[in-house]
Structure 1
Amino acid sequence: MEIMKLVPVGKERLWGGSRLKKEFGKNFDIDCLGESWECSVHPDGECLIANGFFKGQTLSRVLKIKPEYIGTKSSGCFPILAKYIDAKQSLSVQVHPDDEYAKINEHDNGKTEMWYVLDADKDAFLVYGFVHPVNEDILHKAVLDKTLNKHLQKIPVKKGDVYYIPAGTVHGIGAGILLAEIQESSNVTYRVYDYDRQDKQGNKRELHFEEAIKVMNMEVSKDVSQGVRLVNYYPGCSRQIICRCKYFDVEKVEASRGFDFSVLETSFQLLMCFEGCGEVWIDNDFGEHWINDNYADIMSLSDNGKENTFRINFSKGDTLFIPAAAGRCHLRGKCQLLKVRC
């Protein structure tokens, strides 16, 4: 069983910038790089495998061959999409549907997500819900009159902040924010307002007001202030759970030397390194056999079946996929990363 380094998918966006290229080594031939999809099996952007036995294959194909790599907690479908976002300009004010609505109307999953703020300009802010209850008439008039801002809750942000955005919450990432996003595997977005921006052809982007009204929460948003999060300190690292919901668990790890961890049969794990570098490996029994590309031939990874290890180096900007049931893993290095599982 191998740890797989993923090849991300770049997305050009009107509001994108250059920080993902300059700081994270995302060498896409894209002028305004807004998103780097780090782990995705979504048909709108599928990640490839960069190393090992499955090198060159899409992650989605690997998981069709080896569905057990997803884990027993998910019902055969890969549940998440992980990305980095560089908002040089503000994103649209938008909302995502829940699973029930999306599956019926969009033939896709809903989209609940969380953000970990990697960096933010001094006066940067997020849009998160409404400051008072609204209704369809109020919102429709506000969009037409371009006065929607007065109804929206603006939250100042700084490096290290975490926000959980359940489906149905009106939201927007403000200018000058760099963040990591963990979400359901979905690409359904309903734009409510887009600052009257125009694309390269001079066209305004499509809005989806009628769809948005059907799925958004129009009540006052719940308090999203940051509570104190428990940090667990171990020899060589600190670890803290920063988000836990029905779709994913996200842990921030800061390693000064390294740490050991287990990957159980319940879920795969992702390691998203956003600072530093290191190496990671699994305690493996090489007597295992793997299915190759044509689904028929069997290839043995060892002649003697003795226990051995695979090691893979990583650095800032790399994302690693560790299959479910990998067992005991070891990481050594000085780095900061998000560790994601379902």
Structure 2
Amino acid sequence: MDNKMSKILKLNPFHSEKIWGYEEWNLSTHKNGLCTIKDSETTLLDYIGNTLPIMIKVIQANDTLSVQVHPDDEYSKIHENDNGKNECWYILDAKEDASLICGIKPNMTKELFAKVIENGEIESYLERVSVKPGDMIYIPVGTVHAIEGGLKLIEVQQSSDVTYRMYDWGRDREMHIEKSLDVIDYEGKNKGGKIENFSKLETPYFTVEKILSNGLYEDKVNKDFHSYTVINGNGYITDGNDKIDLNKEETIYIPNNIEYKIVGDLELLKSYI
């Protein structure tokens, strides 16, 4: 293996300010927001020479995001020249009695929901889920959703920047009503929602695990890559040569064929495909 390609990398996020808060694209090879190698202006995309199928973000929602939905791969490639966007949210911080929107009321059809939107009644047809730090929420394509204000979370998603808004709480931003109505999963075929007693979430697009290092955690990348985002704690990771500090909300990328040790008492979110 090329020595350049055999290093564990700490990443510097692409920062994106929003009217409701901000996003840090911690792991991203998407053209709309490229993360860089720490202490370097080199992008991860340029360094590894190919795009990754996933993206990892830290999202701070001071206000509620738009009510939105994401398309699947087929629809997104035809209409947006991008990937679909299955995603999941790991809650880092939450105000007391926090909730988020995940799904719509049952027995909806495209025609009925179009009338709901047209009549300005959408708020009455949204399903809310109570959340607290440590919860994991899976948002498959076609799921109507919104992150509410007072939440901070790690998002692991397909590498995509396609969002269709259908309601924005009175803010004057572009809506995508027709496309939203096209892609909503009215029958709930794509099962999403809160993952009870989360330790591992496996999807066709990515796997996410919660890892407790408990002083020492050892592993090897046997396919593609591993990525870790620190939930809590401090420590370091080493491949026997380099030693890289790990701090809260930082993300690292580990290429294939690397054996590594994580040292310290940390909670981490491990993402891979």
Select between 134-143 and 315-324 the one with higher mean Cα deviation: 134-143
Note the 1:76-87 alignment, pairs <5 A.
Answer: 77-87=51-61
Q: Which one is further off, 155-164 or 90-99?
A: 155-164
TM-score (norm 2): 0.93
> 2:232 aligns to what?
275
The answer on 1:340 being equivalent to 2:271 is yes
* Contact 2:225–2:254 (CA under 8 A) maintained in structure 1: yes
C-alpha distance after superposition, 1:241-287 (max 9, x if no partner): 2x1111111111123312111111x121111112111111114xxxx
Q: How does 1:142-291 map to 2 (within 5 A)?
A: 142-197=116-171, 204-220=172-188, 222=191, 224-229=193-198, 240-241=199-200, 243-264=201-222, 266-283=223-240
Deviation of the 1:178 alpha carbon: 0.9
Aligned residue number for residue 3 of structure 2: none
Work out which of the two has the higher radius of gyration on C-alpha atoms and give 1 or 2. Answer: 1
Give, in angstroms, the shift of residue 122 of structure 1: 1.5
Residue of structure 1 aligned with 2:33, choices 28, 45, 48: 45
**Kept after mapping to 2: 8 A contact 1:116/1:180:** yes
2:246 to 309, 314, 318: 314
Q: Which amino acid aligns with 2:269?
A: L
CA distance in 2, matches of 1:141, 1:89: 27
- Conserved? CA contact 2:135–2:194, under 8 Å: no
Match of 2:42 among 57, 72, 77: 57
Aligned partner of residue 278 in structure 1, secondary structure: strand
Match of 1:10 among 8, 11, 15: 15
Per the TM alignment, residue 220 of structure 1 is displaced from its structure 2 partner at its CA by 5.0
Aligned residues: 267
Match of 2:46, SS state, is: helix
Contact 1:133 1:220 in 2 (8 A): no
Provide the secondary structure at the position in 2 that maps to 1:276: strand
Matches of 2:265 and 2:140, distance apart in 1:
33
Query: 2-side partners of 1:259 and 1:225: how far apart?
Result: 27
Partner amino acid for 1:57?
A: T
Work out the percentage of aligned pairs sharing the same amino acid.
Answer: 38
Moved over 4 A (4+): 220-223
Matching residue's letter, 2:159: S
Which residue number corresponds to residue 262 of structure 2?
331
**CA, structure 1 residues 225+12, in 2 after alignment: closer, same or farther (shift >3 Å)?**
closer
Contact residue 130 and residue 220 of structure 1 kept, 8 A = no
Give the alignment of 1:96-115 within 5 angstroms. 96-115=70-89
Output one character per residue of 1:28-73: Cα deviation in whole Å (capped at 9) or x when no partner.
xxxxxx111000010110011115xxx4311111121xx5xxxxxx
Unpaired runs of 5+ residues, structure 2, are: 1-5
Indicate conservation of the 8 Å contact 2:98/2:131, yes or no.
yes
Q: Report the equivalent of 1:232.
A: none
Offset, 1:106: 0.5
Asked if 1 retains the 8 angstrom alpha-carbon contact of 2:58 and 2:249, the reply is no
Pick closer, same or farther for the CA change 1:188–1:215 going to 2, 3 Å: same
RMSD between superposed Cα atoms in Å? 1.6
With the length of structure 1 as denominator, give the TM-score of the two structures: 0.75
Q: Is the 8 A contact 1:131 1:220 kept in 2?
A: no
Shift of 1:142: 2.1
